[in-house]
């Protein structure tokens, strides 16, 4: 392989290279990092971010943004918990079914509302979702009465905290249910983006909305649907987060939007729109999870973790701008 080809291969897959280097570095720094128990924990840690990143990928490909997803998580988690209590169900299947239906419905409604404001009322995505982030957080506190919704049956916690395949070494189970659920969500939204006409329309609108409109694409409807998808994934992440702690809390998802945006951009989704991938966003999620997990094992302060994530977002944006500038030359 020629030197130029190797350099191009590394450049095109820089996120994978960074992930591998981080894994090697933390493995050397702490022997616990690659132990099975921690690897399983690592996959569980990246799940909420991965679900959020699925929907954000659609919105960012359009050239938009949604920083209200964390607050949406809180609302849907509370509504799911209240629905389970109100219906008085206890079985695992019933709790999971009700939670997922509530997450889908509430997330879709919230996403449609955001999409309508942006697509049909002309609001700027950043300002619109910044305002709604505050409004939804306040609404979460109002709905919950200012505190967590608790007293839920054990079946409610299975989606977020349950595990399958018990062994002598792992008496509670090896495979987290949350990982299986996340894989299903990721595969569905990856297929929608890459294998459907709607997915092609998303890329067309993100590349050039005016040209897409002249080609007969309903750009407003595409924007509306993308925000609905983002709302749905935030809703699903909300019920999973509530299930992990077996309660619906109004503070759920606080700050998660930054991690999800960072993961999406790290995965190669351009903030200027037109390019992106759900699958590659998962590598971004893995990088965020590895950094948080590795720094925790090395007993580095959580405050420094926030500094590192912020620096990563800046570097990812700079890389995105550099690649865009190179493409324009």
**14-32 pLDDT per residue, tens:** 788 889 999 999 999 888 9
CB atoms within 10 A of CB 239: 35
Q: How confident is the model at residue 204 (pLDDT cuts 50, 70, 90)?
A: very high
DSSP string covering 18-55, please?
A: HHHHHHHHHHHH-TTTTSHHHHHHHHHHHHHHHHHHHH
Q: At what angle do helices 219-245 and 36-61 cross, to 10 degrees?
A: 160
Q: How confident is the model at residue 3 (pLDDT cuts 50, 70, 90)?
A: low
pLDDT at 167 over 70: yes
pLDDT at 226 over 60: yes
pLDDT of residue 321: 74
pLDDT of residue 166: 80
pLDDT at 213 over 90: yes
pLDDT digits (tens, 9 = 90+) for 97-121: 999 999 999 999 999 999 999 999 9
Q: In the structure encoding, which two tokens stand for residue 223, read together?
A: 């924007």
Considering the chain, what percentage of its residues have pLDDT values greater than 90? 73
Q: How confident is the model at residue 185 (pLDDT cuts 50, 70, 90)?
A: very high
pLDDT digits (tens, 9 = 90+) for 265-317: 888 898 889 999 999 999 999 999 999 999 999 988 888 888 887 887 788 77
Q: How confident is the model at residue 11 (pLDDT cuts 50, 70, 90)?
A: low
Give me the mean pLDDT over the 66-70 stretch. Answer: 97
Q: Which candidate, 290, 283, 264, 272, places its Cα nearest to that of 328? A: 272
CA dihedral for 245, 251, 257, 258, sign (positive or negative): negative
Q: At what angle do helices 256-266 and 278-297 cross, to 10 degrees?
A: 120
Average pLDDT, the chain: 91
CA dihedral for 147, 239, 54, 315, sign (positive or negative): positive
pLDDT digits (tens, 9 = 90+) for 82-102: 999 999 999 999 999 999 999
pLDDT of residue 107: 97
Q: Give the chain's largest Cα–Cα span.
A: 66
pLDDT of residue 322: 72
DSSP string covering 121-140, please?
A: S---HHHHHHHHHHHHHHHH
Q: Which of 83-92, 112-121, 162-171, 221-230 has the weakest average pLDDT?
A: 162-171
| Secondary structure letter of residue 149 according to DSSP | B
Q: List, in order, residues 6 or more apart from 233 with CB less than 8 Å away.
A: 51, 52, 54, 55, 56, 69, 107, 185, 189
Contact call for residues 305 and 292 (beta carbons, < 8 A): yes
| Sequence spans of domains, the chain | 35-253
pLDDT digits (tens, 9 = 90+) for 126-161: 999 999 999 999 999 999 999 999 999 999 999 999
Q: In the chain, what is the straight-line distance between the N-terminal and C-terminal CA atoms, in Å?
A: 27
Residue position matching structure tokens 């999971």: 96
């Amino acid at each position: 392989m020629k030197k130029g080809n190797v350099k191009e291969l590394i450049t095109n897959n820089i996120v994978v290279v960074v992930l591998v280097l981080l894994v090697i570095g933390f493995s050397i720094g702490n022997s616990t990092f690659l132990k099975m128990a921690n690897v399983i924990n690592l996959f569980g840690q990246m799940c909420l971010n991965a679900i959020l990143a699925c929907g954000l990928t659609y919105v960012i490909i359009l050239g938009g943004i949604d920083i209200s997803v964390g607050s949406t998580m809180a609302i849907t988690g509370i509504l799911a918990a209240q629905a389970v209590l109100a219906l008085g169900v206890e079985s695992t299947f019933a709790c999971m079914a009700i939670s997922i239906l509530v997450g889908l419905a509430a997330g879709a409604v919230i996403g449609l509302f955001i999409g309508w404001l942006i697509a049909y009322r002309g609001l700027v995505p950043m300002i619109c979702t910044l305002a709604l982030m505050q409004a939804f957080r306040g609404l979460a506190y109002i709905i919950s009465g200012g505190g967590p919704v608790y007293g839920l049956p054990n079946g409610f916690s299975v989606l977020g905290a349950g595990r399958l395949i018990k062994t002598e070494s792992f008496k509670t189970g090896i495979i987290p249910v949350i990982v299986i659920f996340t894989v299903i969500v990721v595969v569905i939204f990856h297929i929608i983006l890459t294998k459907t006409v709607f997915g092609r329309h998303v890329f067309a609108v993100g590349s050039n909305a005016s040209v897409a409109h002249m080609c007969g694409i309903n750009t407003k409807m595409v924007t509306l649907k993308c925000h609905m998808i983002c709302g749905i994934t935030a809703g699903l992440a909300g019920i999973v987060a509530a299930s992990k702690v077996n309660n619906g809390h109004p503070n759920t998802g606080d700050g998660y939007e930054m991690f999800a945006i960072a993961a999406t951009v790290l995965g190669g989704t351009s903030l200027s729109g037109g390019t992106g991938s759900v699958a590659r966003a998962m590598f971004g999620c893995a990088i965020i999870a590895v950094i948080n997990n590795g720094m925790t094992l090395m007993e580095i302060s959580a405050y420094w973790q926030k500094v590192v994530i912020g620096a990563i977002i800046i570097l990812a944006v700079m890389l995105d701008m550099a690649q865009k500038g190179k493409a324009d030359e």
